[in-house]
Amino acid sequence: MTILYAKDVQLIGDVADMHDSYKVFVIESMLKEIDSGIKPYEHVDPTNKTRFNSELRKLKSMPSHLGLNTAPCIKVLDSIPELLDGNMIVLSGGIGCGKTFAAQVGAFFYNWCERYRTTYRKGIELNVLKPYYTLITAPDYLRTRFDKNAYDVSDDYFLIIDDLGREYFTDSGFGIAEWDRLFDNRYSKKLPTIITTNLKPSELKEVYGDRIYDRLKQCAVWCQFKGDSLRVNGK
């Protein structure tokens, strides 16, 4: 299985979309520009609504060609306080609506907020923005769990599970059990997690059963999107 590293970003399997990756690194440089205007010991604590909303407006006002004005991006950015509180985010929508890109943008902004929240709490200055996340598709995740020698992403700092519902299930129920284990592990440890899926909530319940559906309803913010594919529209 291919594992690609780009700076501090880890892409596992077949998720290396160069166009999206380029956009994300441009956004990273813009975040650092905003970052340079913040004095030591200042923070972007989401409980400080004025400060948090001010920085969020800066991010949303970035050039439209970066794709931050899509519904998934806006919803993810607005849901960052939920991630900081230990909840997960589920992005549900059709193919090509921008879910995966939005999840990556969320990872960058989360790290940026968490840096200043940590600085505020501990009274230390952190000079390096940590845009680290792991992005893996649902099929690739299950393949790693079948192989005992494969890299285990379960405890990675920020995890994006892409395309939940596209994986193959065996009659043993192994896949369902693995998702239950992963979601329980990450929620109990308050590890930031974003899940993307083409399934509607009712379809997800039908595929994964009541236990996983109820767990996600309890510990995740659900964001559903409608609209045409941005890939088809050339955006």
Q: Model confidence over 62-112: pLDDT tens digits?
A: 777 677 778 888 899 889 888 888 899 999 998 878 898 899 888 888 887
Where are the alpha helices (H) located in the chain, listed in sequence order? Answer: 18-36, 49-60, 71-78, 80-84, 99-122, 138-146, 174-188, 201-219
pLDDT at residue 97 in the model: 84
Q: Packing angle between helix 71-78 and helix 49-60, nearest 10 degrees?
A: 160
Contacts of 63 (CB under 8 A, 6+ apart): none
Q: Which residues of the chain have pLDDT under 50?
A: 1-7, 15-16, 39-43, 121-129, 131, 231-235
3-class secondary structure, 217 = helix
**Which domains are assigned to the chain?**
3-224 (3.40.50.300)
Q: What letter does residue 152 receive in the DSSP assignment?
A: P
Q: Tokens 């690609």 correspond to what residue?
A: 4
Contacts of 92 (CB under 8 A, 6+ apart): 99, 196, 197, 198, 199, 200, 201, 204, 222, 223, 224, 225
**Residue in 44, 203, 15 with CA at minimum distance from that of residue 109:** 44
> In Å, how far are 73, 147, 235 from 167, measured between CA atoms?
25, 16, 27
Cα 131–chain centre separation: 11
Half-sphere exposure of 224 (CA within 13 A, CB side): 6
pLDDT at residue 222 in the model: 92
